[in-house]
Amino acid sequence: MSINLLDLVKDQVSGHLAKQASSFLGESESSVTSALGGIMPALLGSAIQKSSTASGAQGLMDIIGKLDLGSLGNIAGLFGGGASNVNGLLNSGGGIVDSLLGNKSGGVIDLITGLSGMKSGSTSSLLKMAAPFLMSIIGNQIKGKGLSALTDLLGGQKSFVNAALPAGLGSLLNFADLGSAPKVNTNINTNVPSTGGNNWMKWLLPVLLGAAVLYWLSTKGCGKKAVDATTDAIEAVDSTATQAMDAAGAAADSLGAAVSKLFSYKLSSGFELVGAAADGIESKLISAIEAAGPIADKNDPMAWFNFDRLLFDTGKATLQASSQEQLKNIAEVLKAFPKVKLKVGGYTDNVGDPKANLRLSTDRAFNVVAELVKLGVEKGRLAPEGYGDKFPVGDNTTEEGRQQNRRIAVRITEK
């Protein structure tokens, strides 16, 4: 079993670093400890991603080669040596953070600031302080060994990182289970559809078969009684076929009524919304954007609009492929109204552990935002947040109510 680097970091670094950094940053030790609980798995997960390519792994070896592993083992000495030592640590860490996180560092800082309650500047400094210490732990584990030791070590950390990541960080950093094998969807309907296509053949074939039997009996002289019996059978089949056709007609009428309830809207961009219900999120969102007057207050239930065609894998934040149609619609609406900004809220029912529910709802909200960004919406226009089992809209004692509570909703914050 792989050694857990995060446990080593916690034992050898986090406690000592929190104590020294809290004094330097002017933050409480508990806040710094909380922040490190998100920083370390974020940095380690990014190192795992980087090690997945030969050039990335070599880049990590180069970083480790520049570190003074001995001095990094003496945290108290580093902070006790004055501002020059700490500034040197920050400069070294800044380069490591840039290498590992790139342009995602701002999002990581914002998220961890929200989780820990520290000032944004303190979080940024702590991130730079933590990075060299994490790399020193990795460096000590592979000391005297080659590149393969590094990739093997980091490859065994995926499950530990996934378990330690605070809600939202995995989605923000696009970890996607850190490269683990994709999960195959086994819920694929392999049955032939029972309507449409060549379905009329199941009625035609018995009639043809009956006619063939009637002809054979007639030519063989088997008697009027047999012919009459066969004729009755054909008439029975024909009657069943007629009833089926009537049922199909009724179904078509129902389908027509459903189609008439769809929302048809052509955006200024020329994009035409598809598959949207007249009372769905697309219709409600556009109506609210175009409505005159101030933006509805966040505490007004009418200010929130629920996605009605988003599906996630059970108990996970993974969006199913069928969700793409509505996500595309919303992305196009936002592109047609470029001043609009949205709050994106994730919610669950109250079944299970509240902390796990909060994390799931947050991850789902962040994943929805990530998909909208992929579809061309500027990230700064979307603010994801998870609320767990708070703010239920249905009765959690019933399945129907719980289903209503498991939702993603949006609220206009600017227009």
CB 412 within 8 A of CB 295: yes
Beta bridge partners of 346: 386, 408
CA–CA dist 269, 266 (Å, integer): 8
User: Cα angle at 266 between 263 and 270, to 5 degrees?
Assistant: 150
Q: What is the mean pLDDT of residues 228-249?
A: 52
> Which tokens belong to 62?
């180069």
Nearest alpha carbon to residue 323 among 345, 306, 335, 308:
308
Q: Is beta strand 304-306 parallel, antiparallel or unpaired with respect to 382-386?
A: unpaired
> Which tokens belong to 410?
């949006």
Radius of gyration of the chain (CA): 31
> What are the distances in angstroms from CA 17 to CA 67, 153, 176, 246?
17, 24, 29, 77
CB 79 within 8 A of CB 24: yes
Question: In the chain, what are the helix, strand and coil shares in percent, each to the nearest 5?
Answer: 65, 5, 30
Sequence-ordered list of residues with C-beta below 8 angstroms from that of 233, at least 6 positions apart, any chain: 210
Query: How many beta carbons lie within 10 A of that of residue 232, not counting itself?
Result: 11
> What are the distances in angstroms from CA 297 to CA 280, 301, 304, 339, 383?
21, 9, 10, 18, 16
CA–CA dist 171, 65 (Å, integer): 31
Question: Which is more confidently placed, 250 or 281?
Answer: 281
Question: Does position 258 have pLDDT exceeding 90, yes or no?
Answer: no
> What are the b/e assignments for 156-183, b being 16+ CB within 10 Å?
ebbebbeebbbbbbbbbbebeebeeeee
Question: Does position 194 have pLDDT exceeding 80, yes or no?
Answer: no
Nearest alpha carbon to residue 310 among 378, 182, 403:
403
Query: How many beta carbons lie within 10 A of that of residue 250, not counting itself?
Result: 10
Beta bridge partners of 384: 344
Q: Is beta strand 382-386 parallel, antiparallel or unpaired with respect to 407-414?
A: unpaired
Helix (H, G, I), strand (E, B) or coil at 376: coil
CA–CA dist 135, 157 (Å, integer): 14
Angle between helices 354-374 and 324-336 (to 10 degrees): 60
Per-residue confidence band for 99, with pLDDT thresholds at 50, 70 and 90: very high
Q: What is the mean pLDDT of residues 262-273?
A: 82
Q: What is the mean pLDDT of residues 138-167?
A: 89
Phi, psi of 180 (to 5 degrees): -65, 165
Residue 386's H or E segment, with its range, is strand 382-386
Mean pLDDT computed over every residue of the chain: 81
CA–CA dist 284, 299 (Å, integer): 17
Q: Hey, what amino acid is at 154?
A: L
Query: How many beta carbons lie within 10 A of that of residue 142, not counting itself?
Result: 19
Domain extents for the chain? 5-179, 201-260, 281-414
CA–CA dist 261, 276 (Å, integer): 9
> Which tokens belong to 168?
């939202």
CB 42 within 8 A of CB 168: no
Q: What is the mean pLDDT of residues 150-166?
A: 90
Q: Which CATH class is domain 281-414?
A: alpha beta
CA–CA dist 27, 340 (Å, integer): 36
Most confident of 88-97, 178-187, 237-246, 256-265: 88-97
Question: Does position 230 have pLDDT exceeding 70, yes or no?
Answer: no
Q: Hey, what amino acid is at 300?
A: D
pLDDT digits (tens, 9 = 90+) for 25-59: 899 999 999 999 999 999 999 999 999 898 899 99
pLDDT score recorded for residue 115: 84
Q: What is the mean pLDDT of residues 337-353?
A: 94
Q: What is the pTM of this model?
A: 0.46
CA–CA dist 143, 335 (Å, integer): 51
